Amino acid sequence: MTQKDTANGVLEPREWWKEAVVYQIYPRSFNDSDGDGIGDIPGIREKVDYLDHLGVDCVWLNPVYESPQVDNGYDVSDYRAINPEYGDMDDWERLLEELHDRDIRLVMDLVLNHTSDQHVWFQRSRDGDEEYADYYFWRDGRGGEGGGKESYPNNWESFFDTPAWSYDDEREQYYLHLFASAQPDLNWENPTVREELYETVNWWLEKGIDGFRLDVINLISKPEGLPNGDPQADTQVGIDQYVDGPRVHEYLDELAEHGFGDYREEVMSVGECVEIDPETALDVTGRKSNALDMTIFFEHVELDRDGWKYSEWNLTDLKTIMSKWQDAVEEGAWVSLYHSNHDQPRGLSRFGDPNYRYESATMLATWLHGHKGTPFVYQGEEIGMTNVDLDSPAELRDVWAQNYWDRKRNAGAEFSEVADRIERFGRDNARTPMQWTDGKHAGFTDGEPWIPVGDDYEECNVERERERDRSILEYYRELIDLRHDDDVLVYGDFELLSPDDEAIYAIRRTLPAADYELLICCNFTDGTPTFETPAEIDFDRAEVALSNELDPDRNPREVDLRPYEAAIYRLY
């Protein structure tokens, strides 16, 4: 860690993970090397030079552990083995070496809240093995064995539109699962469970990785007695009980001490925290516990939805949310900056306009990277991939979407009545194969892909992007280069300008010892609004650091912005 560097205007400790741009790889859909239709680790290795060309500093790899793939790897059956569909440990070690050879770090995705029901721990717990009996949450029913809703141990609901309890005929009890029934929750109250998990964390760190993205990490502490949740909850019942439980900070501190150990200061830890707010982000990144370097928050990607229903949103709402989180960063938290990931629909389809693919994709990138935090680029975002159309429920692969459809079908609905909601918000949108070429299956595989390829692959693919004069891909490279070279963009203070403007998102970034400041202007519409730099911002001259237009206005005092135009100015 480098201490305060006032000569360069940096007024806080430098950290590699603050200065990095992270690229997220969903391995099942990135690149298939053996023609079985499923992406794999050798396929990722084939594209390491592409990642190097893009300029990213770190790869976040979604789970590649051994798994029955009920939730595409988030149901782990062996934490220390690679799923054979993806390769083996030798393939993984070669990938790590090839990334490190190019100065690209590797962060693994780790699921510590639950396992697969195929994990040996659950199998032995189900069998009544005394050593493993309480590795998970087992409870008797309240109204008879294997009965209906009234018989469940409590009224909690899962995140996947089902009750949070399933009955096991072998053990003759219910077990808790906050996600799919094949993902039983681990009992962190058992110190042996915690020790097993900390040893797993340390085992991977000793193999040379550079950190973890910790899945739903703030669910690990459940309250004593597992009391009922508020039946009138806005989301799933029970969330008021199992989010940020009573011992979560104790467990996170233990994780830092016994899991990360001597690696704590070297690695990056990213916490996916459900229902997180800025105060909690401050707590888990140092104020009350110290295992997490940054958090993943959700408010901005929930702006346009109410469950599976569309909700109208305004740019001022987005500004309010992002400004609130930037305030938390100024107070000492740190955040991941993203608009797309494996759990979200494509950001371009939500916050931009696919009819202006280049303009709105590059505008959204500029907007995101203009904030203070660590930018995350999700595979395909850098070429403008969008949401997909659904022809039938047979095309669904996402367990969450499948559960939603099953519930609606059982209530008498036709697929046509819910297809638009699933098309808008289903996670399959983010999981269609990466589009490399305009050839068969978008160059992803020589076989039949596990999930259909997006309809626009002939127009939207890496090969075409490399040929274009104005390319989303090239713009991302330039934006990432700019961030590498500009401390103001990384460490500068954030100020939102024109908070009531419904068309233009404008940001001011300042660093006390720098001889310039940054002005970032983004038009979120297909209109041509005018931005006027506030009079109190004084500058003698301006230069364009980056723009998605070939001939941007050189004077930001008053700028007429074209549809989805974005520009970053240095003001001296």
**Which residues belong to the active site?**
215, 272
Give the Å distances, CA to CA, from 233 to 157, 262, 399.
Answer: 11, 42, 23
Rounded Cα distance between 256 and 262, Å, is 9
Pairing of strands 173-176, 138-139: antiparallel
- Contact 96/48 with Cβ under 8 angstroms? no
CA angle 485, 490, 496 (to 5 degrees): 125
CB 130 within 8 A of CB 190: no
Q: Rounded to 5 degrees, what are φ and ψ at 496?
A: -80, 130
Quick count: other Cβ atoms within 10 Å of Cβ 394? Answer: 7
Centroid of chain to Cα 444 = 22
Query: What DSSP letter does each residue of 340-393 carry, written as one string?
Result: --TTS--HHHHHS-GGGHHHHHHHHHHHHHTSSSEEEEETTGGGT------S-G
In sequence order, the β-bridge partners of residue 306 are: 309
Cα separation, 247 vs 280, whole angstroms: 14
And the tokens for 506?
């404008």
Which of 402, 381, 380, 383 lies closest to 393 in space, CA to CA? Answer: 402
For 296, the enclosing helix (H) or strand (E) is: strand 294-296
CA dist., res. 462 & res. 50, Å (int): 10
Cβ atoms of 447 and 32 within 8 Å: the answer is yes
Strand pairing class (374-378; 336-337): parallel
